């Protein structure tokens, strides 16, 4: 399901997210790690800050965080 902007959590990629390679994990602020996919389809490297935009079963759908002003 899609999350509203107020519900969206942020995290950090801890295993490269590659939808084609079926890999990817993120660590959220509560230090839990989740399996993840890229909302945009792009490969997201380890260390990238991401925002959760949706959840499909036990997998999070994430996108890169917008740069902070």
Q: What is the pLDDT of residues 28-63, one digit of tens each?
A: 988 999 999 999 999 999 999 999 999 999 999 999
pTM for the predicted model, two decimal places: 0.86
Is pLDDT above 90 for 5?
A: no
pLDDT band for 13, please (50, 70, 90 cuts): very high
Give 7-23 as a 3 state SS string. Answer: CCCEEEEEEEEECCCCE
């Amino acid at each position: 399901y899609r999350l509203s902007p107020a519900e969206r959590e942020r995290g950090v990629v801890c295993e490269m997210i590659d939808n084609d390679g079926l890999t990817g994990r993120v660590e959220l602020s509560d230090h839990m790690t989740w399996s993840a996919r890229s909302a945009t389809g792009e490969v997201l490297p380890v260390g990238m800050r991401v925002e959760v935009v949706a959840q499909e079963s036990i997998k999070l759908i994430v996108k890169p965080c917008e740069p902070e002003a």
